[in-house]
Every structure is written in C-alpha cells, then in structure tokens.
Structure 1
C-alpha cells in the first residue's frame, strides 16, 4: 500500500504533520489538499508536503483512499455535505478534531457512517500552522479512532495500520467516551491554565511582582495557555456539556480544599498532595498525550561570559538541536541555573551523557 491517494481539507500543524509523515513512510503517496490560504498552499507545494493544491472540493477527492478533515472543528462539519457526492465506497473519511460528538451526529444525519472513522491525534504544540508541522510530531502519541457503528472492520483495521506506520499509537474509543475523557484531561486543563494566568494578571501590582517571579511550577502548568484562542473557543463550544460536568466536579474539589484550609484540616491537605503525587507518578512519560511532553534538562553552571555559548557549541558540534535555552531566575522548584529544551527524548538523553562527560552538573526531571 504505497501508491494510494490522500486528500486533505485544511493543512495546519496537525494536518501538515500527518502529510509529512505519510510522505516519509509512503514515498509513492499522492496528496491533494484544499485550504483557504494561498500562502499555505504555496508553502506546502514548494516543500513537497503535497502534490496538488485544489481551489475547491471537486473531482480529485473522488479518487482518494483517505480524506482528512483538518480545518477547525466547526468548519469540518460544514465540508461534509460538499464531500458526500465524491466519496468512493472504500474511501475512509476522517477528521483530526479534539471533539467527536458533534461531527458524528452530522455524519449520522447525512448517512455517511460507512465511510467515517473519527480521528484525534493526541499531540500538538502551542505553535500553530503548517510551518511548525513536523514529520515526527505524532510519534509515540496516542491516536484515538472513533469508528461509527456501520463502518466495516476492514476499514478500521486499514486505518489502524496506517496510524501504526506513521509511528503513532491507535486507540479505539466510542466517540461519546472520547469527549468525556478529553474534557477531563485536555479541555479542563486548558481552561484552568488560562484562568490561572488571568488571575495572576488581575491580582498583580503595578510593579508586576507576580509576573517577575513567575517561573518553575507556574510556567509549567500554564504553558498551554499560549495555545490558539480561536481553536479552543470552538473546542469548548462543541464539548460544553462534558466540560461543564467535569468543571463542576473540579469546582467542588476546590471548595473542599478551601474548607480544609479554613478548618486547619492538615490531614485533608496532606491527603490531597499525597494521592495526587502517587497518581501523577503512575502516569507514563513515554507516550505523549494532549499535553505535549517537554524534553528538558537543567544545568548548574557559573554565571560567566561565554558560559551558555560554550554549552551550546558542545551540543551543536555533536548534532544536537536546541529548542529553547534560558536562565532560571526563580529556582524554587529547580536546582540549576540553566534550562535547556530539546525537540525529542533521544536528543535529551544524548545531551545528558555528553554534558556530563564535559563535567557539567545536570539535573533531570
């Protein structure tokens, strides 16, 4: 299965990453894409990410073995009616949206169940757009599949094999279960991160003391607040019932904490940190979920001219790319003065061994 045809509608971070992975693992694949931005189309063609850019949904999609809906969540639904006449019998129609109930309900209403398998690659970045897409973005990430009741087992198996080939981890869920799960482990954390950032912004003084010392734990748990507001507004609106349910549970848990603090219930407070620590430590860091893992190390070094340049040179001359590097000004939760981020775990591990060889003191988290 090398010479097959794939169609994309929308080509941002996730769509671009899937297209790049398909081109890498299936060199003979022919990729057609339709997108609103002509700049994106030119970029995708010039970089060899796609073979053909279409200005409208037309006959080329009737030849596709797979069609990926990669536009914003609500926009994907709008394309279904236009696509329906072009779907050949064995075509797999899928999407990459973070919510599934809304699109499944539209698929059912349009009678397109025999072609549709919902998809949610649980990987991403705070950065958006095709220019930030990466062939390996989905590697070792869960890729949730939500088949309809009428799609054939053969189609499901074929899609599972495709997902495995691009090095992601297929996981089959009912679409309703998917939306409840992601409400708790993805959508609620984004709401919490954004509301916490705004709380600090509104509580800060004129000298911005809170902003000045914000680092460590605060930056870690609010990193996802840098995500696209347009995308997350749509995600929340299409999964609002599930989010409200888990948000109610979270608010009740915060009220319980507030009561424990007011009553000086030290046992209750200890239990909160103890049970959460044990459960958090049981979650594997090997696979990426919707909150993308940060591959970083901390380096204890003397603050002197050329220190950072020397470390960066050692890494660069050994073929290790740095994603980000910076001084840790607030060391409440860190033991070192320099934080270095990498694009992948392999690079992080290589850097640890190399820098320790040069007698740097390295801390891993």
Structure 2
C-alpha cells in the first residue's frame, strides 16, 4: 500500500523534499500551491505525481502532510488544516526555522487523532523556486525533528524513517533547545550581517570609498544580509526571547573587546582572536549547518581574451553546474582572480579536479 505525502508549498524546500521522497516507489506525492504555474512547473519537472490549488483535495488521502511555507504562513496553514477532513493517524510536520511557537500552537489546536511533529531541514540555496529543487539538497545536512514528551514514539520513528530518504542526518531536539541553538548560529548572525551593512552604508553617505572597498571580502562575510527581509522579520519575531538574550550576551562580549582596546591590552586582544580562530578552525568544513555553505572555488586567470569562456566551456562539457561566477580582481597583463560558485560539494570537487588537470592554480580560499 502506497504512502501518500502532501507537500503544502511547492518551492525550493518543498520541491526538494518531494524529489527525495518520490525515489521510493511506494510513495505518492501530492502538491498544493496557491499558484497554478508553480504546480505546472513541478509536474513538468517530475517533482510531483499530482498537484492542486485546493487544499482539501491535497490532504484528503495524505498519511503525512509537510507544510513547506514561511513561518507566519505555517500558523495560517495549521488553522486551515483543523477545518479539513484528514486521515486518522495523519502526521503533520513543517520546515520552519523556529520551533517552540509553532509546536505549541499546533498542540493547542490539532485534534487528538492528528500528530504534529515540528521539523527543520538545515539546508538551503541562494536560489529559489521549484526549478531550483534538488533531491540532494539535504544530503549530509541535519534535519531536526522536535517532538514533545506527549508525541508517540512510533509516529516519530515513522516520520524519521520517511525523511531518511532525503539523505539528511535526522536528529531530535527539544523545541526550545532548537530555537536557542539556531538563534545563535543562524538568526543572530543575520542581524549582525545586516547591522554591519547598514552601518557601512551610513558611512558611505559621506565617503563613497566605503562602497568601493566593500567589494570582495566584505561582500562575502555579509552575504546573508541579502536574505529575504520579510522572512527574516517573521523569524526574528518568532524567536524573540532567545534573540534578546543572545543580544545581551553579544553586547557584553563586544564591550569586553572595547575595554581591551581602550586598555591597549595586546596579549588579551591576541587571545581574543586566537580563541575565535581555534574554535572556527575546528568546525567541520564538509558538513551542512544552519547557514547554507559556500561552494566557492578560486583560480588565477591570465588577462587573455576568451579565458573565462574556456573555463566555463570545460566545466560545462562535464555537465558540472555553476550557480555564480565573478571576476574578483583584474589588472591589464597580470593575473586576475575568478570565483566560481558551484551548486553542491560534489560539483565543487569535480570542478576542482578538472581545472587542476588543465593546469589552473585552484584554491578554496582567497
């Protein structure tokens, strides 16, 4: 007997989950979206077995419902689901990056025969839409489930087994613990990146060199400031308590560094940077975390006509996907630096091997 999965919201995340799950021939994927054109794309790309703009039709036979929507839309969707006819024993899960509020909201509203288990797949892409979906988006990433003490163990195991088809590492966390950890390593860094960009932008009003010199490294370390403003507004408001506490800790840490500078304490300033360096160097490079990794490759290129075209032709001939390409530095008759961004770790490694073979000096960090 086939398992029917309803995917509510057929974009990058929902589409990638669908592609991964439908590899099991015993799974049937039904997609719901408010936009018919999104469903048409998903059907054409083979992401779904069926699609509809009617929510009741999408969930009527579903054994598992995956709400793949922005945080605020998840609440509205849960409200709608409580008014619809659902299968007894159905599992409902979501993909939101905050969990405590959503889990609590679902517990208060879902009927007893429905099991809600919060979920957060920690992978993404700088691209959006179902056309960017990949069955390997979550490979080697963490997929967090946040059951409560009242959640039946067999239902958690059932969902975890299904989601293992995504090739993610399915782990369990308490909803509140999840929000504190992700607030530290994902949500708060978005605040810092945007605050730093806004600060430099204010300086730029009086001196345009800030804008000119902010290319390169500054652009890279603040890349997450380009994220969707509305989405991050909702994330911050839904993780408000943890973020306010993290902000207090951050303020204290920053004040401590300021005091070291004021006191000209060279040894402790160096210790500050050394401690940060040691922790960062210990982070696994090939693991996917709460922030999407960069699959960047840098190479020196001579200032010759057609050189970039040759490189992209070599990569394209091997069917290796490039998502972005940027010339970082060029001066006439000297070497420039080309940054190529790949779609996945696998594509990066294949591109690196290929370019090495053709004699290019390739490296992963500038």
SS in 2 for 1:328: strand
Which position in structure 1 is the counterpart of 2:246? 246
Measure, in 2, the Cα distance between the counterparts of 1:203 and 1:121: 38
Displacement after TM superposition at 1:41 (Å): 2.3
What corresponds to 1:20 in structure 2? 19
What does residue 177 of structure 2 align with? 177
CA contact (8 A) 2:193 2:224 kept: yes
Query: Does the CA-based 8 Å contact 2:300-2:361 persist in structure 1?
Result: yes
Q: 1:53 aligns with which of 45, 51, 58?
A: 51
Equivalent position of 1:159 in the other structure: 159
Deviation at 1:345, TM superposition (A): 1.6
Q: Residue 41 of structure 1 aligns with which residue?
A: 39
Q: Is the 8 A contact 2:107 2:116 kept in 1?
A: no
| Structure 2 CA distance for partners of 1:320 and 1:217, relative to 1, 3 Å | same
In structure 2, what is the equivalent of residue 94 of structure 1? Answer: 93
The correspondence of residues 282-321 of structure 1 with structure 2, limited to 5 A, is: 282-321=282-321
Change (3 A) 1:65 1:220: same
CA separation in 2, counterparts of 1:317 and 1:11?
A: 31
Alpha-carbon spacing, 1:112–1:173, altered in 2? closer, same or farther (3 Å)? farther
- 1: CA distance, partners of 2:8 / 2:316: 38
Deviation at 1:353, TM superposition (A): 2.2
State TM-score, norm by structure 2: 0.92
3-state SS of 2:65 partner: strand
Aligned residue runs from structure 1 range 113-192, under 5 A: 115-192=115-192
Partner residue of 1:71? 69
| Alignment partners' CA distance in 2, 1:221 and 1:107 | 37
1:273 aligns with 2:273: yes
Once the two structures are TM-superposed, the CA of residue 183 in structure 1 deviates from its matched residue by 0.7
Say whether the 8 Å CA contact 1:68–1:93 is kept in structure 2: yes
- For 1:146 and 1:130, the matched residues in 2 are separated by 26
Equivalent residues of 2:330, 2:336 under 8 A apart: no
Aligned counterpart, 2:4: 5
Describe the superposition over 1:319-357 as per-residue Cα deviations: whole angstroms up to 9, x where unpaired: 3222222211399xxx96111111112222222222222
- In the alignment of these two chains, the number of paired residues is 360
| 3-state SS of paired residue (2:55) | coil
Cα distance in 2, alignment partners of residues 55 and 347 from structure 1:
35
Provide Cα deviations, 1:289-321, integer angstroms capped at 9, x if missing partner.
121111122112212211111222222223322
Give the TM-score taking structure 1 as reference length: 0.92
Q: Which moved more, 1:124-133 or 1:283-292?
A: 124-133
For structure 1, which runs of at least 5 residues remain unmatched after alignment? none
